[in-house]
């Protein structure tokens, strides 16, 4: 689990939710803002100081799920 929230609560486009980005052990990697752009796309805003480790973490999960970025 990357985020400990149910993303379906973002029912309307442009809705925003504060959440945490979790590492593989369930610890907090960063706090984030998630915005629904359309039915299948979201924007995730992270802190600039954690950009490198967040990007590495998300790419790792994307690859393990067969998602191209």
Tokens representing residue 23 in the block? 């590492």
Of the candidates 21, 7, 4, which has an alpha carbon nearest to the alpha carbon of residue 57?
21
pLDDT tens, residue order, the chain (69 aa) = 899 999 888 888 888 999 999 999 999 999 999 999 998 889 999 999 999 999 999 999 888 878 876
Rounded distance, CA 23 to CA 43, Å?
19
- The predicted model scores a pTM of 0.82
SS3 45: strand
d(CA 16, CA 69): 22
């Amino acid at each position: 689990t990357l985020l400990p929230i149910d993303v379906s609560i973002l029912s309307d486009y442009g809705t925003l939710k504060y959440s945490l980005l979790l590492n593989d052990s369930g610890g907090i990697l960063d706090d984030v803002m998630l915005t629904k752009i359309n039915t299948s796309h979201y924007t995730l805003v992270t802190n600039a100081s954690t950009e490198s480790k967040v990007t590495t973490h998300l790419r790792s999960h994307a690859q393990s799920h067969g998602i191209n970025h």
